[in-house]
A and B are shown apart, each in its own frame.
Chain A
Amino acid sequence: MTSGPIPEIEAELAKLPPAVLEAYHEANDSVKESFGEEEIGLWAKEGLTIGTQTVRSWESAIEYYRVSPEVSKFLSFPSFMQWARCGTYLAQDSPTLAVSFFNSSVSIVPNLRPQYIPRWAGLGRSLYKGTWKSSTLAAKFFEVSPDLVRNLPFWDVEVFASLIEALSYKSYDVAGECLVLGRDVLPAMGREREPFLAMSRALIDTSWREVKTCLELVPRALQQVDEAQTGRFLKLGERLAKVGLRNTSKFLSDGTQALSKVPQGSQGYILDLCDALVVITPDAVPPFLKSLDDVLNRITVSQLDTWFQHGAHLLQENPESGIAFFKIESNTSESMLETLSSSLELDRVKSILRLYCRALAGTGLEIFDSQELVSRNIGWVDEGTASTDGTKIFLPPVVDHYTNKQDNFSWFKVVSTHQVAHLEFGSFEYEFEKPTSQFEDLRHEMEQKAIQRKEDQRALAKEDYDMAARLLTSGAEGDVEMTPMFDDPNDMGSMRTFTDIGRFLELFENSRLGFDIFAVLEDCRLDYRIKVEYPGIRAVSSRVQGETLANRPRIEDMPLQQGLVELLVHMSLDQFQDLPVAIEYKEAGEMLSSILHQLRTAEANVEDTAEATLRAYEIISRVPNEQEEDDQFEEQDLEEPGDFSEEDYQSLVDQLQAGMDASSDGGDGESYESPDPVDYRGDFKPEMVQLMTKLQADSGEQGEAQPMTQEMLEQLLQESPELEMDAEQGEVDSNMSMFAQNIMKEAGAPPPNSQPGEGYGPLLHDDDSGGELEAREPETYVYDEWDFRANDYKPRWCIVKEKLVEEGDATFYQESLKTYSALSNHIRRQFELIMPESMRKTYRLVDGEDIDLNAALEAWADLRMGVPPDEKIYWHRNRNRREVAVVFLLDMSASTAEAIDEGRQTVDDRDAPDDPVEYMVWLRRRREGLVRRNYKRIIDLEKEGTTLLINALESIGDTYGIYGFSGYGRENVEFYVIKDINEEFSDKVKRRIDKVTPLHATRMGAAIRHAITKLDNQDAKTKIMFLISDGRPQDRGYSREGVEKEYAVHDTHMALVEAKHKDIIPFCLTVDKAGHDYLKSMCGDMGYEVLADIWSLPERLPMLYRQLTAVR
């Protein structure tokens, strides 16, 4: 072993301090295990080289030998030598450096790829600048390296090292401290490490002292800021650092503080805002973040937008005042916060108002944002006003009329009470033929007149038409094509009689005037009823009326006819004193007042309003719509106009008519314009409501009455005065047809031009060809299918593939629970009611937990009596679980993607524009898009229902599995596992629900059979299979000869029967309104339900389950 160069080397080593040789010998033995003979020589020699580099490098050599055995275990010989050589170079520069290099190597080598070793050594070397301080820093670097390398990717270590180097030019001390801090802080970071290092790097140029503070602060920031947002947050810091913001650490701490106060989901939005600010003035970011906490204590995140926009605009005009704004050191800012903080958003009180309205109306009303109604595009156009379509109440999204929340809420209450009153007091139940109580019947007479008028017009039109036709035929020689100048008069029939309200409004020549009067009078009637029925709201409602009055236009400024309508508005708002009426029409004013007073009684109904409207119209329409001088008006007191009398009315009308005939000097004055809307009363569209109701009812029964076509509907809408159109005629037409289409959709009528079966894809080929299938892959199963014509099973016909649903986000689950919190509590309670059943004591048992005292005493008494005693004297608490196992099968077919609300717009996904103003507009739009997305699909409701169910099921501990099914063709029946029947409920399940999406077709039979298999393996007393679908079963080739839908229905039926044979209770729930047709044959005597209202699915599902499991 001592051959070759070794003795020589040893001799050389002996010249160095003796410790070197000692170390060598010590290491030699163990190194031999790793290296060959020749290699040992090289190894020993390298030590010598190290030792002889400089005067003090023998220390390095000792360290070299000392760690060699350990290092050699991890490195191949070439790598080892490369490593040793790195040490040699380092020893050349500074033996201390080499010592720490070797020293750290022991722990670093196992974690560092060999090719990185030179780079690593280089990193340390680059920190060494020949000074004592720098060598300490470099040595420290080697010291912390093992930790860094173990926890960070190597390139991050490199970036960090270069950061430290850059910092070392400023101060070695700070660099050293940062090095240590970095070791502790960096490993904890994930993706955000990169932006953080970039930010720190940017800081060195501008304010290097901040780096250390940032390192200290960052762990807290990471804890409190939403994981997904930290990267952006730090990038923002980098941008700020680059533009020279001084106190980045302050930004970091304030920012963290601010963001931690913001709800998780909104942090991204705050950062959006910061980004917008950086573009304008970076200096504004820190004050903004600093104020944020304070601001958010006063207003909500969604209100923040308004405040921020204002500040941003200020900032653009004048940075100083902008910054003051964000510091909340300006009046504008302060007062804006005040207004905002007192304003009330509908979302916050929606659920209270919903229950309030439901209580008042006694029907299952829903509350929606009025923007919702507008976006449905069925004729409502005003976003800011309340309205109702008969089943939903629409309210403005925000109220900020008053400076405190309480008043704003009261306003909401007044508005919704008024809307509910339309339902409660029957505005929409108008029936033309229903007798009135306050007036004599005038409408039939008027109808005759109206018909007469129409006929006259028609005759006139016909005359013109014939004339034109004659002219054309006589003028030409016969081959001239006749272009009709007029529509064929016979086509001029009206559709308005479709609804009763329409029939009524048809009576008026000036239908706009007629409708306006009707609306005012009806609102007047309702407001009066509200005040009588709900005294509690009287005070608030009077205040609102008073405020409305204060903002009404002056009657004197209006043309006479409009002035009289405005007079009605004033009176309907409870002003009867000091009303200016033109002297000439004093009687008319009095008569209008007495007509209106007829409605101010609890007995008046909507039919009375209609009769009153006829009379008011007769009067007002006979007044010329001309401007009158101020001095021609006189203040009137119309509080007590005296009782209404038909005779007086008639003579007034005659008188007015005479006046009109007399002064027939041509022009009728100005054309009539509707009065300004009364804010709190909102939009009143009785004809639309009646129309929708009727269409819905018609589409329900089908047949008999000729269904309304889109053309008819369009014409009807054109004629209705309820739809206000200021646009050009062409646009109106297109609007009308759009409205008509949307209304048809809403009403559930089939859209025009659609062929039955369209959208399901052509059933091109049926799979009758082809034979049995084999399940080859894992998690696939083969099932038979029932052929009802053959009256037999097709063997091994379908392949069911079981798959796990992907995991998404658990927020869907939580959000659903939140949305339905009241309901979910209710359901939970209902479910818990079942529970005691299993925990009930059972008495009179032969054995049990304890002696049943009653039974024991009886037994004792029996003994004394000499009667044989009953030996059942124990009781036992029945701890058995409810023995229920249930499988839920969710339809995941493509049709479940159908939106329940139509007409939603897609989110604007353009890239962020550069211009700050545009950017903010974009930001706002994007945000609103996100916040207001309320576009629900059938599947969403299925999912929500499932969520509620899971929540409830967990409370009673039934065994349950949730599966989705879909597929394409018989060899591809997909069976998705959301929660397997034996799986414990976990976050995974929550996340899977999120990913349930509409897929392909529905081959129910196979899916049901697979579910049966699942249930059959369960050991439970009661087994239930719950099928939730949105239509009939359908799939490629799921029919005989591709046409008979019956095939699918029969197969499904058979599958359900099979379930029954295995003691499984099947139950089908469908949201398909046409479900009754096929469900009857599909389910036979098994349970099924057709949900009339899709929205009730989440509510109904758990309830049904409860009933189902309860009946045994």
Chain B
Amino acid sequence: MVEAAPETEAHFKEYAIEEFLVRDEPYYRPIGDEIELFTAAYRQHIPVLLKGPTGCGKTRFVEFMAWQLGRPMATIKEKSGKEEELKEGEVRVPLVTIACHEDLTASDLVGRYLLDANGTRWIDGPMTRAVKNGAILYLDEVVEARKDTTVLIHPLTDHRRILPIEKTGSIVEADDRFLLCVSYNPGYQSALKDLKHSTRQRFISIEFYYPPADIETEIIQRESGCSKEHADALAKLGEKIRNLEEHGLQEGASTRLLIYAGRLMSEGITPRRAAQVAIVWTLTDDPELQRSIEEVSSSIFE
């Protein structure tokens, strides 16, 4: 669970999980008031639930928020003594991202005793570390997690803001900067995997959807570096494909896919081909659906 920084200096950079900081401003194009909402929630220690289909910018948003909140201009009550350790211009809100899956156990998150030559040793899990270091803890696709792990976050998400560690018999109090943020995709949530209400009602919810066509154009152009025309057409294609969501397509084309297509185009791949490999074939295996989407794409692209 170590994320490498985008710029590789020598070979690669390795961080301890709680030390990973978003250093450069990630590109995020706000659509509504989500930035204000998140900032307010952060200051008020209210956990945030991000809902939305895949590839619509949830993760990017959290990254952006980590960066934004970590900048000095954000007035956050600092824990004394921490400041000296920061290098010049360094940001102060680390981001700990955990992708949830159905085999994720509580000790995966909290920590466990390990055996070594001298006996046993306690190792903090990523959640514990995030809590201790005042990070934004981002649990991606939280519905995938086992029920017992979701219960873990309950004491963290109400007024207590504590993490009891059963094994060591201790309780960790969350750092002031700590915030829990979870995301899930209501689209392929089979009703069985719904969040329990006792969990759900500990968050404020920000709903994400694909951005409107003009903003999406802007995003595609900015992210992929393709021409305005192509970005425009891609956004239109995305919109049209999303119309098919109810008619056989599981999920519409994500902004991410549109950006991929745009990137291919900026590398000189012909638009129709780029759309085919990045969007059509990725979205579905159903030949009929593929053909239909391709017809839409061939109407839009010359």
Contact = CB atoms under 8 A, between A and B. Distances in A.
Interface of A: 351-356, 358-364, 413, 417, 533-539, 822-823, 825-826, 829-830, 833-834, 837, 840-841, 843, 854, 857-858, 860-862, 864-865, 1106-1107, 1110-1112
Contacts of A862: 113
B233 interface: yes
B15 interface: no
A353 B272 CA distance: 19
B190 A1110 contact: yes
15 contacts: A352-B292, A359-B243, A359-B244, A537-B299, A829-B250, A830-B190, A834-B192, A837-B192, A840-B102, A857-B115, A858-B107, A860-B115, A1107-B191, A1110-B191, A1110-B192
B252 to A, nearest CB: 10
Interface string B238-253: 0111011011101000
A359 B191 contact: no
Contacts of B167: 858
Contact of B248 (A355, A534, A538, A864): A355
A534 B300 contact: yes
A826 B248 contact: yes
Contact of B292 (A359, A362, A534, A1110): A359
Given A833-B188, A843-B105, A359 B301 contact: no
Nearest to B146: A843
A350 to B, nearest CB: 10
B247 A364 contact: yes
Nearest to A539: B302
A15 B39 CA distance: 130
Nearest to A541: B299
A607 B193 CA distance: 49
A1107 B193 CA distance: 12
Contacts of A864: 115, 119-120
Nearest to A825: B286
A1111 B191 CA distance: 6
Contacts of A537: 298-299
A242 B233 CA distance: 70
Contacts of A533: 236, 300
Interface in B109-149: 112-115, 119-120
Given A352-B288, A536-B299, 18 more contacts: A353-B292, A355-B289, A359-B292, A359-B293, A360-B243, A360-B296, A533-B236, A534-B299, A536-B298, A536-B300, A537-B299, A834-B190, A834-B192, A858-B167, A860-B115, A861-B115, A864-B115, A1110-B190
B228 interface: no
A413 B299 contact: yes
A133 B243 CA distance: 83
Interface string B208-230: 00000000000000000000000
B302 A538 contact: yes
B295 interface: yes
B248 A822 contact: yes
A948 B240 CA distance: 28
B297 interface: yes
Contacts of B293: 355, 359
Contacts of B105: 843, 854
Nearest to A1112: B192
B291 interface: yes
A865 B118 CA distance: 11
A355 B112 contact: no
Contacts of A359: 240-241, 243-244, 292-293, 296
Interface residues of B, number: 41
A843 B105 CA distance: 9
B107 A358 contact: no
Contacts of A538: 302
Contacts of B192: 834, 837, 1110, 1112
Main secondary structure on A side of the interface with B: helix
B228 to A, nearest CB: 14
7 closest Cβ contacts across the A-B interface? A355-B292, A1110-B191, A861-B113, A362-B243, A534-B299, A359-B240, A537-B299
Contact of A352 (B191, B246, B295, B299): B295
B248 A865 contact: no
A537 B296 CA distance: 9
B288 A356 contact: no
A536 B240 CA distance: 14
B298 A358 contact: no
A362 B102 CA distance: 36
B28 to A, nearest CB: 27
A355 B247 CA distance: 8
B301 A536 contact: yes
Contacts of A1107: 191
Contacts of A354: 292
Given A833-B188, A834-B190, A858-B107, A822 B243 contact: no
A536 B244 contact: no
Contacts of A360: 240, 243, 296, 299
A1000 B191 CA distance: 38
Contact of B288 (A822, A829, A1110): A822
Contacts of B114: 857, 861
A362 B288 CA distance: 18
A833 B286 CA distance: 18
A877 to B, nearest CB: 13
A249 B102 CA distance: 68
Nearest to A351: B288
A358 B292 CA distance: 10
A667 to B, nearest CB: 49
Contact of A361 (B120, B191, B243, B272): B243
A207 to B, nearest CB: 51
Given A854-B107, A857-B115, A364 B246 contact: yes
A862 B169 CA distance: 13
Contact of A356 (B102, B250, B295, B301): B295
- Identify which of A361, A537, A829, A860 gathers the most chain B CB atoms within 10 Å of its CB: A537
A822 B289 contact: yes
A289 B134 CA distance: 83
Contacts of B103: 841
A358 B302 contact: no
B301 A535 contact: yes
Contacts of A355: 244, 247-248, 288-289, 292-293
A834 B114 CA distance: 36
B288 A833 contact: no
Nearest to A349: B291
A354 B292 CA distance: 8
A861 to B, nearest CB: 4
A865 B120 contact: yes
A355 B292 CA distance: 6
B146 to A, nearest CB: 9
A356 B292 contact: yes
Given A861-B115, A1110-B190, A535 B302 contact: yes
A858 B167 CA distance: 10
A760 B302 CA distance: 59
Most chain A beta carbons < 10 A, residue from B188, B192, B286, B302: B192
A377 B73 CA distance: 71
Interface in B257-298: 272, 286, 288-289, 291-293, 295-298
B42 to A, nearest CB: 34
Contacts of B300: 533-536
A413 B102 contact: no
B295 A413 contact: yes
Nearest to B191: A1110
Contacts of A534: 299-300
B110 to A, nearest CB: 12
Output the residue of A356, A364, A834 with the most chain B CB within 10 A: A356
Contacts of A362: 239-240, 243
A536 B289 contact: no
Contacts of A352: 288, 291-292, 295
Contacts of B115: 857, 860-861, 864
A829 B289 CA distance: 15
A861 B302 contact: no
